Chain A
Amino acid sequence: MSYHSVVMVKQVPDTANISGQVMKPDGTVNRSKLPTVFNPEDKVALELALQLRDRYGGTVRVLTMGPLKASDLLRDCLYMGADEAFLVSDRRFAGADTLATSYVLAAALKRLAPFDIVFAGRQAIDGDTAQVGPQTAEKLGLPQITYAEGILGAEDGKIQVRRKIDQGYEVLEGTLPLLITVVKDAAAPRPSRAKRVMAFKNARTLMELEKMAEANSLLYIDQLKEEYLSKGLFIQTMTADDLDVDLTRCGLAGSPTKVHKIDSVVLGANEHETIPTTKDGMYALIDKLMEDHIFG
């Protein structure tokens, strides 16, 4: 039996490697200088989906909601081996919290039905909430397995998954279709294959083709689209108009959580006492700790 998967992927600022250049002189982070990367756990999720396809056959499609620039991420997925890529992009989706994000992603997934498994990363390294996966599952009425460490096997419409729990692990058996969120250690993502890079580096979204057509009066958008579609290089884009969504539940408007205030973490100068590295210095330190009621 073969399985059809959709992997939810997100392009994120590289918060793990905040280097000197992205620090402002006052010690705060300059977010616009942060390069974007493939959210690490989503890459692992894609790898798991590809392994499932290698083993049992089927298809792997990838889906992201983000700005037009997120098409870079989708090309990366095609390089790794995804069969098809979908971009959900609309200004009206901007500023979404996890509830509004999962609402739109669930609506897009309904357009991609039927599928057996929706894969997601456990969490994205920018918002770090780990909420979008379970919320998407709830909206689709799907069961979920979070914190998956590996897929043990699939048979007769059921899948066996090993997942992390507090101080240990569980093996679960889930009935398909379901949603799985994946942790970092579950698999090592394969590198992109040179042949696929050659094949898909020209994959384009509708908006990217429109830009090409605008820049060159000899190109007609309908023809371009036709040509890219026929070559398998068309990245499908969905906007609010393509989805069955209530706009009051999308984007900032549909987000119950609001960011009221943001403080960059600045290393504050703290009042501390320097202890000389001498015998007397150490004695004095022990005395102070006794005064602090820590020793004695």
Chain B
Amino acid sequence: MNEKKPQVWVFVEQRDGKPADVSLELLSKGRKLAESLRGELKAVLIGHDVEDLAKELFGYGASEVLLADHPELKHYNTLPYSRLVSELVDEHQPRIVLFGASFVGRDLAPRVASHTLSGLTADCTDLQISDVTYLRQDYAELLLQIRPAFGGNIIATIICPDSPVQMATVREGVMEKIPLAQPVDGRITPIPYTPQGPDELVRIIERHREDNKVDLKAAPIIVSGGYGMGNFQNFQILYELAHLIGGEVAGTRAAVDAGFIDHNRQVGQTGVTVRPKLYIACGISGAIQHRAGMQDANKIIAINSDPDAPIFGICHYRIVGDVMEVIPMLIDAYKHKLK
């Protein structure tokens, strides 16, 4: 058996030289998993001119950064990236490897898992270390990979009892990003890259990226509207409320489909996952796909005219009433109390 300490790896995704939030979130989670295993946290970073970024990862607890830096690795490309990561996994046999469930992570992770014959669990919403009894056999310190499936209607706990390497992807915003007060004293290990013929089988001809102007995930307060807002005109009152209390406006898919609000502000399974201090759900029924993106908010206020609306099952403050009556009252009350 391997005498080395168990290793937890995070594939750190860089976009134009900047780390993806999801990677920093995963390092924060990976640190906890490594602690439970009495092991080490390491990062795998691939790109060009990203040494500064590599150093930034010590601030999230990575004790070693495996860094492949080469001009041809500037942008993500499936074949060279998956070859590099697969070879590293083969060589070092980390216990756990985490990837963001982003476009890049979902392109890369399955290839690496396939090459290394590892179990891979998609879109985990929670990761824990636990001893498990499975089919009457005892396994020590397995990774519990908890994920929704069936369109969010069930939650499955997946384990890989016999796989030396356990891999998982996690979406952005699901884990919390927790920088260390004091960076660890880590080291950077350069990983050589030699271009190979097949690396060029798929070439990037054009790239278009827009920076996301709205950052819902960072908003401490979110005022969110659903189909029950009625129309575009009514929906605008949410901006007034949000502006007053220092929040951002978001919506459900039904509100997006109805044209009340832009898709990049959709909260839920196929939108953004948020965990603000306060989430005000206005005219939202509380469908499972919506709840998947907001149920971890610290406090939830729900305003709905239907006293049995499912959203009331997860809220902290329940207001039964018409949004166009309740929201103006709330605005007045806030102004009265705080101005």
Contacts and interface: CB of A to CB of B under 8 A. Distances in A.
Chain B, interface SS category: mixed
A34 B160 CA distance: 28
Given A131-B122, A270-B314, A170 B153 contact: no
A113 interface: no
Given A164-B103, A286-B338, A296-B338, A128 B122 contact: yes
B208 A268 contact: no
Contacts, number: 245
Interface stretch (A1-9, A237-245, A273-281): A273-281
A256 B145 CA distance: 13
B330 interface: yes
A97 interface: yes
B153 A143 contact: no
B107 interface: yes
Interface residues of B, number: 86
Chain A, interface SS category: mixed
A260 B209 contact: no
B206 A170 contact: yes
Interface residues of A, number: 77
B336 A126 contact: no
Interface stretch (B4-12, B185-193, B315-323): B315-323
A263 to B, nearest CB: 5
Interface in B25-71: none
A189 interface: no
B41 to A, nearest CB: 23
Contacts of A29: 150, 153-154
Interface stretch (A13-21, A61-69, A82-90, A218-226): A13-21
16 contacts: A126-B149, A138-B115, A166-B102, A175-B201, A256-B162, A257-B159, A257-B160, A260-B144, A260-B159, A270-B314, A270-B315, A272-B312, A272-B318, A277-B325, A279-B329, A293-B277
Q: Which 9 residue pairs of A and B lie closest in terms of their CB atoms, listed nearest first? A: A256-B119, A15-B151, A282-B333, A168-B209, A129-B122, A256-B163, A134-B110, A135-B114, A131-B110
